[in-house]
Chains A and B, each alone.
Chain A
Amino acid sequence: MSHDALKQAIQTILPEAVKDSSYNETGHHLDITVSSESLVQLVEVLDQKGFYLVDVTAVDLIPEIEVVYHFALWQKLYRIIVRAYIPRNHPEIPTISHIYPGADWHERETFDFFGIKFLNHPELKRLLLPEDADFHPLLKKESLLEKVEAVRSGFRKGGCRITYGD
């Protein structure tokens, strides 16, 4: 399966989603931004193409939360990042644990750290933190809003170079 063939297969279901990414700079060949409605459809395609699930995590980009999925292939060097943006005050996204059972724990961990509700997850409860914990430690403070803008601008630019501090 070639890069273009996969890109086309995804573009037929999600025309706007796919973007090339520079492997040397970001560690990914393909950068996919998907809405939470079409996430399951996309993951089903990746499952058919033989990708394995690397991990599921999230980044708090106030006022949204970016849910990040990493996929990769065994047969050849090919890595994919899938991003889904969900509102911070209503963090819900469908589960993919019925397609990739390995996502079960990853999603529970993300729920633990960010409070994201994975809809239809078989058993969404805390994984690493105590059962009675009433906080989600990786959510950022609203005062970090300016720093978030820098992260966003980085996504647009892509690539990272060194800048020397003091």
Chain B
Amino acid sequence: MEISADRDGNTFYLNMGPQHPSTHGVLRVILKMNGEYIQEAECVLGYIHRMHEKIGESMFFSQFYAYMSRMDYLSAMAYNHGYTGLIEKMAGIEPPLRAEYIRVITVELNRISSHLVWLGAYLLDLGAFTPIMYAFDDREMILDLLESITGSRLTYSYFRFGGVCKDIDEDFIRGTRAFIKKMRSRLKMYDTLVTKNVIFIGRVKDIGIISQDMARRYGATGPVLRGSGIEYDIRKNEPYSVYPEFDFDIPTGSTGDARDRYLVRVAEIEQSLRIIEQALDRLPDGPYRTEIPPFIELEPGDCYFPVESARGEFGIYLVSNGEKRPYRMKLRTPSFSNLSLFNELTKGYMIADAVSILGSLDLVIPEIDR
């Protein structure tokens, strides 16, 4: 951190990042401070900007898969799901039912692994070193499972238009069931280890309260919004894939502080486990992929398709002019909107609370910068 003072001596500027551990990537925040209190927090973005929207305009539809997983590297499956869903909707491709089930299973596993990284890293920001060890241990099981079917550990390109690239096998199903059982017992452990910890509560309770109106004006989605008590989840409100067939709840908070956002994410892990369990029980037989031609041409027109990623609403707005490449592809990422309320949110809080608030938003910087 660098410090520079104003002439009057009361306010001074504190530079946080872009290489600061609590920003989880290359985010820079210029804090205008009055003593230990924050007056303004200006985020400086773009350190990892790669212009995915422009790259998309110069590629065939199937070539863009690899880029989709490199935006949000923690829940890459959900991004692939959004892209696949959009093109299938626009092109009128019907994937087989088994493929949809496999997609939901892998996306939900990926969601749990994403929440586990957040859990460990957030508590590490707050000064608790132990939970990250447990969280990464559990996450390792998920990564091994997904590696066994997708071949990659983080940036998956597993989905294809009209299905998935490889079927799941008995080993994967057995391993996933074992993981569900283990994760349930671990959730109890996290609960006793973290949730009621007095130091933890002191750092998160009544910190960074997001009101419902504020969330609406900034377009916050995902756990950040649900922490404020709004029951809004694209999986329920705007059903896609086979989500309507599963029975699961949307956890919500009440006050909208950092603790509520923590509770919502931890409760979401259990709901994802429920979805995976039901999907495994009802997994239909049949093909996992339909044959489609190597090149897809969409008819001219535009379409918006959103999915629920681990951080909120990820949507793609695609404009097609009838060629093999998109004319324009807008990627709406959840962290972008979730971070934009940071300035208003941190006003009047102390510097240590800014770290707590930043962590509770669960940011992935490459998805903001794209």
User: Which residues on A are within 8 Å of B, measured CB to CB?
Assistant: 25-28, 50-55, 57, 59-60, 68, 70, 74, 76-77, 79, 81, 99-102, 104-106, 113, 126-130, 137-138, 147-148, 150-151, 153-155, 157-166
Q: Would B218 and A102 count as touching, CB distance under 8 A?
A: yes
Alpha-carbon gap, A16 to B286, bound state (A): 50
Contact with A along B218-240 (1 / 0, CB 8 A): 11100001000010100001100
Q: Is the CB of B301 within 8 A of A155?
A: yes
B296–A128 CB distance below 8 A: no
Query: Complex Cα distance A113/B209, Å?
Result: 33
Q: Is the CB of B302 within 8 A of A57?
A: no
Flag whether B305 is at the interface (Cβ < 8 A).
yes
For residue A32, give the distance in angstroms from its CB to the closest CB of chain B: 14
B90 contacts chain A at the CB level, 8 A cutoff: yes
- B167 CB-CB contact with A under 8 Å: no
> Is there an interface contact between B217 and A101, defined as CB atoms closer than 8 Å?
yes
Could you tell me the distance between the alpha carbons of A66 and B301 in the complex, rounded to whole angstroms? Answer: 14
Contact indicator A162/B91 (Cβ below 8 Å): yes
Q: Which interface class (under 10, 10 to 19, 20 to 34, 35 or more) fits B?
A: 35 or more
Q: Answer whether A26 and B46 are a contact pair too, CB < 8 Å, given A160-B90, A160-B298.
A: no
Residues of B within 8 A of A28 (CB): 304
Determine whether the beta carbon of B303 is less than 8 Å from that of A25.
yes
Q: What's the count of A-B pairs with C-beta under 8 Å?
A: 157
Choice from B51, B225, B305, B319 contacting A27 with Cβ under 8 Å = B305
Contact A160 B320 (CB under 8 A): yes
Beta-carbon contact of B45 and A127 below 8 Å: yes
Q: Which of B10-18, B261-269, B330-338 contacts A (4 or more CB under 8 A)?
A: B330-338
> Which of B220, B238, B294, B322 touches A150 (beta carbons < 8 Å)?
B322
- Nearest B residue to A154, CB-CB: B300
In the assembled complex, the CB of A105 is this many whole angstroms from the nearest CB of chain B, namely: 5
The reply to whether A52 and B304 form a contact with Cβ atoms under 8 Å apart is: no
Q: Provide 26 A-B residue pairs closer than 8 Å at the C-beta atoms, listed in order of the A residue.
A: A52-B215, A52-B219, A54-B315, A55-B219, A55-B315, A57-B317, A60-B328, A74-B237, A81-B304, A100-B219, A102-B218, A102-B341, A127-B46, A128-B49, A148-B321, A150-B300, A150-B321, A150-B323, A151-B300, A154-B300, A158-B301, A160-B92, A161-B92, A162-B297, A163-B322, A165-B296
By the criterion CB–CB under 8 Å, are B295 and A166 in contact? yes
Q: Does residue B299 face the partner (Cβ distance < 8 Å to A)?
A: yes
With A52-B215, A55-B330, A129-B49 already in contact, 12 other A-B pairs whose C-beta atoms are closer than 8 Å: A53-B217, A54-B313, A55-B219, A70-B315, A102-B340, A128-B49, A128-B370, A138-B53, A154-B299, A154-B321, A163-B297, A165-B293
User: What's the nearest-Cβ distance from chain A to residue B61, in Å?
Assistant: 10
In chain B, what residue has the closest Cβ to A77? B238
User: Are B321 and A162 within 8 A (Cβ)?
Assistant: no
Asked if A128 contacts B369 (CB within 8 A), the reply is yes
Contact of B297 among A79, A101, A164 (CB under 8 A): A164
A157 touches B300 (CB 8 A): yes
Nearest opposing residue in chain A for B340, CB measure: A105
> Whole-angstrom distance between the alpha carbons of A59 and B327 in the complex?
9
Minimum CB–CB distance for B17 against chain A, Å: 16
Asked if A138 contacts B91 (CB within 8 A), the reply is: no
Task: Determine which of B232, B302, B330, B332 lies in contact with A154 in the assembled complex, contact meaning CB atoms within 8 Å.
Answer: B302
Is the pair B369, A27 in contact by a Cβ cutoff of 8 Å?
no
